[in-house]
Amino acid sequence: MAAAKTNAMRELERLGIRYEPREYEVDPDDLSAETVAAKIGFPVEQTFKTLVARGDRHGVCLAVIPGNAALDLKALAKATGD
């Protein structure tokens, strides 16, 4: 049975961006991008985190960033007008 699509997958498809989902065993005690990258055999900078933030003015925003990056909330707020 195929895994359900995430909102990030739907957005990538809408934008015509190719992607390849990978499945791996989840360790609830270690959800780090470094661990996930090791499990799927990719460099951490070639894996991506999907993060959701809620702004004061425009509501929910989805951010997809490289696994080795941190989300700059001030830059996100500026980009979204929040």
Give residue-wise pLDDT tens across range 12-23: 999 999 998 888
Contact 49, 64 (CB under 8 A): yes
How many angstroms separate the Cα of 17 from the Cα of each of 7, 48, 79?
14, 14, 21
Indicate the domain borders of the chain.
7-80
pLDDT tens-digit profile of 63-73? Answer: 989 999 999 99
Say which CATH architecture domain 7-80 belongs to. Answer: Alpha-Beta Complex (3.90)
pTM higher than the cut 0.85: no
Which two tokens mark 4? 């359900």
